[in-house]
Structure 1
Amino acid sequence: MLKPVLTIATVLTIAAANTAQAQTWQPVKPFKADYKAYFKNAAIGHGSRALEKQANGTYKATSTAKVLGGAGMSYDDKSYFSYQNQRIVTEKFSRHKRVFLGSTDITGKADGKGGLIVKSDDKTKHFPAGSWGNTLDATAFQIQFQDDVKSGQTNFHYHYVEGDKTKDYKFKIDGQETLKVPAGSFKTIRLKRIQHGDRQTYMWLAPKLDYQLIKLQVLRKGKQWSAMELTDFKFQ
C-alpha cells in the first residue's frame, strides 16, 4: 500500500514554479493523513500516515494499514529520524506485519555511517549507504520523497529497506494535474516510477497540503491493479 517523462521544458516549468519554496529549505510539516485502499476497483482496506516532531528536535513518522479488516494483512511501521544537511538520517525503525499465516517483527538502527543494521527473525543484516546517499527505512523514505518534491528537485533516487530487503526506486516528474479524491480536489504534481515490465506506478502530490501524497496508483497492462486515495488530512 504505503506500507509503496515529459520534455525538459515541462520539467523546467515545474521546477520554476517551486523556486519560491526552494529558496528557503523547510522540512515537511507534521501531519496526519488517512487513505482508502483499492484492489482493481474494489475498496479493500484503509491506512494512515503521520509525522510528529519530538521534543528533542527529531521526528517520528508512522505508517499503518489494514486489508480486509486486518484479516488479510496489516502492518504498523514506526520510524525515528533526524536531519543532517537537509537530508533524512534514520536513527531507528520498527515494523510489525501480520498476514493470515503469521506475523513478522523487524527492527533496525543506524550504523553511524548512513546505513542501517536490521534484525529480522533473529538474523542481522547490514545495509550500508551508497552513491544514492543514506539508506532509509520505508517510512522515512516517504517523508524524504515529499521533502525533495517540495524543495523543487527534479531527480528522485532512493535506496531503502522494506522489511529485511532493499528497494531501489527512481521517479521522474510526469506533469501537473488537478485531481479529485475523497478528501477534495487538488492541484497536484504527478510523478512516475522508472521501472521495467508491464506495471506502471504513479504518485500525485499536492503543494497545497505541503506536498502530501494524494493518490498512488499501480497499473498492470494499462489497467488499475491497486490504488490508494486520500480521505482526510490535517496538519498537526
Structure 2
Amino acid sequence: MLKPVVTIAALLTIGIANTAQAQSWQPVKPFKADYKAYFKNAAIGHGSRTLEAKSNGNYEATSTAKVLGGVGMSYDDTSYFRYKDHKIVTEKFSRYKRVFLGSTTITGKADGKGGLIVKSDNKTKHFPAGSWGNTLDSTAFQIQFQNDVKSGQTSFHYHYVEGDKIKDYKFKIDGTETLKVPAGTFKTIRLKRIQNGDRQTYMWLAPKLDYQLIKLQVLRKGKQWSAMELTDFKFQ
C-alpha cells in the first residue's frame, strides 16, 4: 500500500503531526466477524475472521471458510504476529486448504529480517522483505490493511504470501457509501483494487466497527461474480 506524499515545506508541522500520530495510534481491536459468501447471486458458503490479543503482547488472527458445506472447498488460516513501528511482523502462520480432490498444508515462519520461510509439499521457499517493507502472510495482511485505512492512508500497496506464491496487491480509496448488509446498515469507506483485465474488486470498511470489512465484491464485465457480506460482528 502506498503512503501519502508529504512536502518538505511543512517540516515544522510534520514534526508536530508525527508526534501526535505516534501518541494516538491504536491498532485494530480484537474482534470476531462472520460472513456469507456468494457466487453471482447465490449463497454458497460462509466464513469467519477473528483477532485475539495474547498475554505476551502478540496477536493471533484466524480466517476460515467453507463452500458448499465444505465439500466444495474449505480453508483454515492462522497467523501469529507482533507490531513494530505500527507495522505487522509475522512470526509464524499456517494454512490448511481442502478441495474436492485433496488437501494442502502450508506453514511459514519469520526469517528474522522481515521475510518469511514457507514450507509446502515438502518444499521450502524464502520470501524476503523488500522495498515495500515486511512480507506478510495472507491473514496478517488483512489486519494490516484495516490498520492502514484506520490511520488515514488513501492508497495502499502490499506484498503477501498466499500458498507458496507472493501476491502484489494495490488499492485506492474510491469514495464513501452507506451500505446495508445482513449485520446492519453502516457508513463505509469504499476501496478499489488497482488491477488490469475485466474484473473489478471493491471492499467496504466500516469506521463504526473499527474499520472492519463488511463487504467484498468482485465484478466481471460489470456484473457480480462473487461477494461476501458481514452477517455478525462483536468486539472480543
Per the normalisation by structure 1, the TM-score is: 0.91
Match of 1:4 in 2: none
Counterpart Cα distance in 1 of 2:181 and 2:122: 42
Partner in structure 2 of residue 162 of structure 1? 162
Deviation at 1:200, TM superposition (A): 0.2
Superposed, 1:79-158 pairs within 5 Å as: 79-158=79-158
State how far apart, in whole Å, the 2-side matches of 1:222 and 1:22 are: 42
Q: Deviations over 1:101-133 (max 9, x none)?
A: 000000000001100000000000000111111
State the alpha-carbon separation in 2 of the partners of residues 131 and 22 from structure 1: 23
Percent identity at matched positions? 89
Provide the rounded CA distance (Å) in 1 between the counterparts of 2:154 and 2:230.
24
Offset at 1:92?
A: 0.1
Alpha-carbon offset, residue 50 of structure 1:
0.2
SS at match of 2:132: coil
Q: For 1:87, give the aligned amino acid.
A: K
Task: Give the match for residue 228 of structure 1.
Answer: 228
Contact 1:22–1:150 (CA under 8 A) maintained in structure 2: no
Equivalent pair of 1:22/1:151 in contact (CA under 8 Å): no
Q: Computing the radius of gyration over CA atoms, which structure comes out larger, 1 or 2?
A: 2
In structure 2, the partner of 1:202 is: 202
CA distance in 2 between counterparts of 1:155 and 1:111 reads: 28
The question of whether the paired residues in 2 share the 8 Å contact of 1:82 and 1:89 is answered with: yes
Name stretches of at least 5 consecutive residues in structure 1 with no aligned partner: 1-19
Assess, with a 3 A threshold, how the Cα gap between structure 1 residues 186 and 118 changes in structure 2: closer, same or farther.
same
Q: Kindly indicate whether the alpha-carbon contact (under 8 Å) linking 1:21 and 1:152 is maintained by their aligned counterparts in 2.
A: no
**Aligned counterparts, 1:43-82, within 5 A:** 43-82=43-82
Q: In structure 2, do the counterparts of structure 1 residues 158 and 91 end up closer, same or farther at CA, with 3 Å as the change threshold? A: same
Structure 2: any 5+ residue segments left out of the alignment?
1-19
CA distance in 1, matches of 2:174, 2:21: 20
Runs of 4+ in 1 over 2 A off after TM superposition: 20-23
Give the equivalent residue in structure 2 for 1:36: 36
Q: CA deviation at 1:155?
A: 2.1
CA distance in 1, matches of 2:120, 2:140: 19
How far apart are residue 162 of structure 1 and its match? 0.4
Matched residue type, 2:51: L
